Amino acid sequence: MSDLSPIAKTVADLRNTFDRSYSLPPSSSGAEQVENLLALRLAGNPYAIRVTEIAGLVNNRKTVAIPSPISELLGVAGIRGGLVPVYSLAALLGYDRNGYARDASPARWLALCGNEDQVGLGFSDLEGYLRVPAVQIYAASQENIMGGHVKDVARVDGLVRPVVSIPSVVEMIQRRCGEIRVSPMQL
């Protein structure tokens, strides 16, 4: 019974926390600003993306490879009844070139971006969901970090995570697709 006591205590804490969250009023607009981030790892390095910059998150979707001049394109995957091109986020950040190691792990997670022409950014490891106060997010001191796709960094639990700008990545994809005059969907 002594072994069960910590579990019962944990259960009680969980119950109290859950009940307290419903007992408190919703936070006012003037309250402390937080950023919702998804902590992830690209080629073994910690990164983060803003939840507000993606349209959805899926996992374990089958990606069918197709021939393409864009080497970062992993293939297409069926998402909610439609075909979505899937790019390697690590490759888009330059891990496959410029002296960076290639991210060999399969892209188990897909972050859906865009509203009409959705693209999927694939990555291998999702470390969790982070609610980071805005004061702990700093502008990157250098420009053109990781192809200019990292503009902020977040300090979480003593660890600095570069925050990837999804709109910047999507814009690059669209630009490169435009350069070869092929829409992303046509790929």
C-beta of 137 vs 187, nearer to other proteins: 137
CA distances from 179 to 70, 172, 176, 184 (A): 11, 10, 5, 11
Positions 22 through 61 that interact with other proteins (CB under 8 A):
22, 26, 36, 38, 51-52, 54-59
Cβ-Cβ contacts under 8 Å for 102 (sequence gap 6 or more): 43, 90, 91, 95, 96
Selected range binding other proteins among 20-28, 90-98, 116-124, 133-141, rule: CB under 8 A: 20-28
Instruction: Choose the stretch contacting other proteins; rule: CB under 8 A; options: 81-89, 125-133, 159-167, 173-181.
Output: 125-133
Please check whether residue 54 is in contact with residue 113, taking contact to mean a CB–CB distance below 8 angstroms: yes
Q: How far is the CB of 101 from other proteins (least distance, A)?
A: 27
Find out whether 55 and 115 touch, Cβ atoms under 8 Å. Answer: yes
Looking at residue 159, the DSSP 8-state letter turns out to be E
- Residues at the interface with other proteins (CB under 8 A): 10, 14, 17-18, 21-22, 26, 36, 38, 51-52, 54-59, 128-129, 131
